[in-house]
């Protein structure tokens, strides 16, 4: 099995458009955007608690501090949350007032938290329904890192944003495309 497909902005908008017309649209939109706009792993999204993203004063945090048990490899890490994702999270949190900080941020229809496996399956079916061949639960992370690399963000910064312990792992995530190559030669 090859690497997960990276999505262009137009393709992400297509997936978000599909989500908008289905049940639990706001929840599903925010879960997907956590992978595309913050580079979170599906297991990290599934493990989020309300208290991880909502501060004591009710605002959305700038940085999500994931505990070791919430991450792959069991290494605590910080996820930096861009303003556009904070707005999406704020809208979602406002739709679920009075929830306890210890409860899962994202609930299933049975009011339980998602497992990494269940969320992975949801993304697989979502991408399949919108005919995104080769896309998977890892597409968000790969798209996130590839987009930043295309904008000139250095590999060390990418490594830290991804929570990778090795630069070699980070380098495998970044897709090189024709647009990136064209921009590179124009720097000469």
pTM over 0.85: yes
> What DSSP character marks residue 60?
B
Q: What is the pLDDT of residues 46-77, one digit of tens each?
A: 999 999 999 999 999 999 999 999 998 899 99
Mean pLDDT computed over 33-39: 98
Three-state DSSP string of the chain: CCCCCCCCHHHHHHHHHHHHCCCCHHHHHHHHHHHHHHCCCHHHHHHCEHHHHECCCCCECCEEEECHHHCHHHCCEEEECCHHHHHHHHHHHHCCCCCCCCCECCECCCCCECCHHHHHHHHHHHHHHCCCCCCCCCHHHHHHHHHHHHCCCCHHHHHHHHCCCCHHHHHHHCCCCHHHHHHHHCCC
Class level of CATH domain 9-137: mainly alpha
pLDDT at 6: 93
> Where do the domains of the chain lie?
9-137, 140-185
């Amino acid at each position: 099995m090859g690497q997960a497909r990276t999505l262009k902005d137009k393709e992400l908008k297509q997936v978000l458009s599909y989500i908008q017309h289905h049940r639990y649209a706001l929840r599903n939109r925010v879960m997907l955007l956590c992978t595309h706009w913050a580079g979170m792993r599906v297991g990290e999204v599934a493990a989020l608690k309300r208290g991880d993203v909502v501060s004591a004063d009710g605002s959305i945090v700038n940085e999500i501090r994931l505990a070791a048990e919430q991450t792959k490899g069991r290494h605590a890490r910080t996820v930096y949350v861009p303003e556009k994702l904070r707005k999406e999270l704020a809208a979602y949190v406002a739709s679920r007032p009075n929830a306890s900080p210890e409860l899962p941020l994202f609930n299933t229809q049975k009011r339980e938290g998602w497992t990494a496996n269940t969320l992975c399956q949801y993304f697989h079916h979502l991408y399949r329904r919108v005919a995104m061949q080769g896309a998977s639960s890892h597409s968000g992370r790969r798209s996130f890192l590839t987009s930043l690399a295309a904008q000139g963000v250095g590999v060390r910064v990418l490594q830290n944003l991804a929570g990778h312990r090795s630069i070699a792992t980070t380098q495998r995530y970044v897709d090189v495309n024709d647009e990136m190559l064209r921009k590179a030669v124009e720097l000469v």
